[in-house]
Amino acid sequence: MERRPCIVLARPMNQADPVFARGRGRELFALALGQMLDQGLFSEAVFALPGDVPDALARRIAGWGFDLVRGAEAPQVRVLEAMDALGCASCAVLTPYACLVDRAGLDLACGLVASGADAAHASGVMPAREFLVLTRRAAGALSGIDNGALPPGMFPARLRSLGLRVEPVSGLEAPAERFAWGTYFAGKNALIPPDILAAFYEQTEPAEWFERGSFGRMLGPVCGLSGLDEISEALERCGDDGGGTLASQVNFLRSIGPHMPQGGRFLEIGGSRVPLLAMLLMNRFKSGVSVEPIVYSEQGVRAASGLCRALSLHAPGLIPIDAARTARPGFEPEVRPCTVEELGLEEASVDFCCSKVVLEHVRDVDSLSRELFRVLGPGAVMVHRIDFRDHGRANEPVYINFDFLKYSKEQWRERQEETNAWRVNDFVSLWQDLGFRVEVLERSQRRAPPSFLHPSWAAYSEDDLYCYDALIKAVKPA
């Protein structure tokens, strides 16, 4: 067997880390990695851990029989450190999410690197199937990036930006598979629920664990998906051939469902190019309007309607609402290419309002909020999910960091950046001052301070500064 080493980039700081995920009494990543070695996907494997990982957790991983390389905090530096320890010219890189690596795709990636590519990676797949194969040259280029920790998911894009040849390996899963994973299994998280993954391992021969389509065949009985091809075709017409963007709209519907009234009129802010959420909401409300001033597309509206019909017919178990109404023509919402202020709604004419990762981009939050208070009726509800992270560079994934806190709000606004730097308490305070009753339904936070914190943020609590995601509900008094 040719030498094909694998480096696992992990940073387990507690027992809840994905590397220790257990299902039906088994540690799933250790089980999967052991099978990858037994079946020849890799010749050897090492875990590359930063030095701050607690010794007890490092010993737990070592107890599985794998070697450890302790090194730098930055993942991109640990790759080269591990390659030095292994003495290899090329290697594969995984994270603990990668429990369903596609064998044929991995073989193709290794062949591309052997033929001269600097790197090759699984493209357009869920995290359980992600991998990267790279040369020492590519690892050296990554290790020279010194602006903090670079998440492994950003390695391919960053290598391309450095002028290296990086080949994507695509077609490893159907769009419907990724959509099903995003809606039914994972939601906003990257880890397949351990019990589902453990059941797959128990019900499938190990030789098929890493074969294309094996996990897709399990989707039917688990989540009621009867037409994989039909859903994939509808997703491709939407232009979301990876399924992830539209899956997030379905998950948002799941979050706001318990807070929606029955009947009346809804208003969605920022419906996106393919307003699937608005189509689904029409099954709960008598009428509704979705505004999208930036990326409105008539083709996208038609595609959203078609996807709604396909889901109703072939995958009703994937959506948290009976979509039978909008499965028929003539029941679509109104979709307008304008802002809420330009819409000119009548006073007290809306019963429910929502937005998903939109309000962090609004320049004049005060003006929009006052307009919403005007158009919402007595007792009306609005629910907004807001992404409070630094959105980084264009065309790069967004990860949890708060580099914008190096600037005051005024300085940030002058830079014409993508976000407005408002924090969760800013929204809560404004809406309370306007007269709303406000409740933060969900909030996620991780302390990731910038290299320098501007003094203007001194009055903010760390809970508010480092909140990166929140679901906020506001009710207009009756």
Q: Which residue has the higher pLDDT, 341 or 327?
A: 341
Residue-range domain boundaries for the chain:
5-169, 244-475
Look up tokens 């894009």; give the residue.
157
Residue 390: other Cβ atoms inside 10 A? 22
Contact 251, 185 (CB under 8 A): no
Query: How much is the pLDDT for 398?
Result: 55
Stretch 392-410: mean pLDDT: 76
pLDDT, tens digit, 9 for 90 and up, residues 43-61: 999 999 999 999 999 999 9
What per-residue string of b and e applies to 261-296 under the rule 16 or more CB within 10 Å gives b?
Answer: eeebbbbbbbbbbbbbbbbbbbbbbeebbbbbeeeb
Q: How would you classify the pairing of strands 44-50 and 67-71?
A: parallel
Which stretches of 259-408 are DSSP H helices? 276-281, 298-314, 340-343, 365-375
Alpha-carbon distance values, 40 to 1, 210, 456 (Å)? 8, 11, 56
Measure Cα distances from 478 to 268, 278, 376, 378 in Å. 21, 25, 11, 4
**Per-residue pLDDT tens over the stretch 353-367:** 999 999 999 999 999
- pTM flag (> 0.85): no
Selection from 179, 172, 170, 169 nearest residue 211 by Cα: 172
Interatomic CA distance for residues 146 and 407, integer angstroms: 21
Q: Is 375 exposed, middle or buried (0-12, 13-18, 19+ CB in 10 A)?
A: buried
With vertex at residue 449, the alpha carbon angle to CA 189 and CA 244, rounded to the nearest 5 degrees, is 20
Distance CA 304, CA 338 (A): 19
Crossing angle of helices 136-143 and 75-86, rounded to 10°? 140
Class of domain 244-475: alpha beta
Q: Inform me whether the pLDDT recorded for 131 exceeds 90.
A: yes
Question: Cα 194 vs. chain centroid, distance in angstroms?
Answer: 18
Q: What is the pLDDT, as a whole number, of residue 185? A: 63
User: Rounded CA gap, 469 and 462, in Å?
Assistant: 14
Quote the CA–CA distance of 439 and 207 in Å, as a whole number.
Answer: 50
Q: Which residue has the tokens 């979509």?
A: 323
Residue 188 confidence (pLDDT) above 50: no
Residue 263 pLDDT > 50, yes or no? yes
**C-alpha R_g of the chain:** 24
pLDDT at 316 (0 to 100) = 86
What whole-number distance in Å separates Cα of residue 173 and Cα of residue 124? 8
Report the SS3 class of residue 66: coil
Mean pLDDT of the region 126-137: 94
| Cα gap 166→155, rounded to integer Å | 10
pLDDT tens-digit profile of 72-109?
Answer: 999 999 999 999 999 999 999 999 999 999 999 999 99
Which of 3.50.30.60, 3.90.550.10, 3.40.50.300, 3.30.413.10 would CATH assign to domain 5-169? 3.90.550.10
Mean pLDDT of 182-193: 67
Both tokens of 256, joined, read 């706001």
99 vs 30: CA distance, rounded Å: 9
Better-scored residue on pLDDT, 223 or 433? 433
* 85's tokens: 């320890």
Residue 96, C-beta contacts closer than 8 angstroms, at least 6 positions apart: 8, 10, 17, 18, 19, 21, 29
